[in-house]
Structure 1
Amino acid sequence: MIEILDPDKLPQARETGALVGHILRTVRDRSTVGTNLLEIDRWAQEMITEAGAQSCYVDYAPSFGRGPFGHYICTAVNDAVLHGLPHDYALADGDLLTLDLAVSLGGVAADSAISFVVGGSRPPESVALIEATERALAAGIAAAGPGARIGDISHAIGKVLRGAGYPINTEFGGHGIGSTMHQDPHVPNTGRPGRGYKLRPGLLLALEPWVMADTARLVTDDDGWTLRSETGCRTAHSEHTIAVTEDGAEILTLPKPA
């Protein structure tokens, strides 16, 4: 299903997106050496509940996971990149942590992810991975607008990631979003320009470039959810929910200014 948001629902989409951005920023700022992933999950639960919002993850049970997910935020560390199931692990200096969060508020969902290094260490490989996904995300957003096609976004993202020297996995990518978290169209992280669904004002998309340093192959943990690089290399993931507008694209998941 491809859902086009009614114009009068855009303010609600902005509110949901700002909440997601706020929670991610708050959790990032609180996450230090020694922070437990289960503590991060509790923080997310408390902030979602306090805002009167609903988690898109707790009851999430797609065909590719061992559902329901049962937690409020995805926490992926180092070689884990997607669907990281929170567990009893204390963060160490230099860990590369990815937080992925989706919530629904007022009938509209928003989805975003950030990757960052914990503590004072800044391993060059980790920094390069994060920066590449952030540049790719910016390129994808810049390619979005009324009349553009999904392939234009995918091509812009893939050009940055390949230019940085990273292989690209196309099993998981961006997606439509609206009254539910995962909708059509699928937005691969590489593709051919001029192909695919033509974007219309009111379309919400969650764009999410993610890469692994030296492989495009994933393996699944015994928990049935956490996806890791096959080689054990480090990974990174950046995501924003955007709204296609009459004159371009608006990022919805930026936190409000502090």
Structure 2
Amino acid sequence: MKEINITELKNALEDSFQLVDIRDEGSVIYGMIPGAMHMAFSKFENDIEDCVDKLQKDKRIIVYCQRGEKSKDIASQLEDLGFDSYSLVGGYNAFLMDSIQTDDLEESRQKAEESIRKKFHKSLFSPFAKACKKYELIQEGDHIAVCISGGKDSMLMAKLFQEIQRHRKVSFDLTFLVMDPGYNAENRKLIESNAKRLGIPVTIFESTIFDAVDMIEKNPCYLCARMRRGYLYSKAKELGCNKIALGHHY
């Protein structure tokens, strides 16, 4: 099984390879590597005929998944079928990290904030601001811990808080709190990079939650969620926050 890294992919001639995204449909709706074709399959053997019909034997076939693990097996099986196939090292995550590193950080931040003020003002910022005012969620002198998991919901919530703070109708402080429950280095780096790209100054603290629930068979997700909430409350209190904001509440 052969591999190719993101730098080699970027330097390759476009007409010399065929790029194949094998992630599920729920993943690809959030983005694909430009020029890739999508082939999702749960069991490669069951879909082999459909896949082979769409592949070009006169080109290198470069397969990628999310992290560069599943693609190794697929690339190997394609090689057995006579294709010059490769697995992309690090998968789609490697592409994202490369994109973030080559981005203009200030331009990325400005673009995100401009979209909130213009394109999504009516659908996102306006309802957020109205709810904060109607229910008196933000009051003079508040110190709010905005909890960030790294996903789109919490990242957006953080930007909305920054935007409403910019209007300064009341004076309040924000701490953008990220708890690392045991992420692998790659996932943590991605959260840090995205936060930097969006201009969110995160405060990160660590816990051992993933290790604690790893051997739990009954309701591990429920226990993990309860423990995460407890750690966040404790850290927010330690930092002097009097309120906590989460991204998954209507």
Scaled by the length of structure 2, the TM-score of the pair is 0.26
Q: Which has the higher strand share?
A: 1
Scaled by the length of structure 1, the TM-score of the pair is 0.26
* Structure of greater Rg: 2
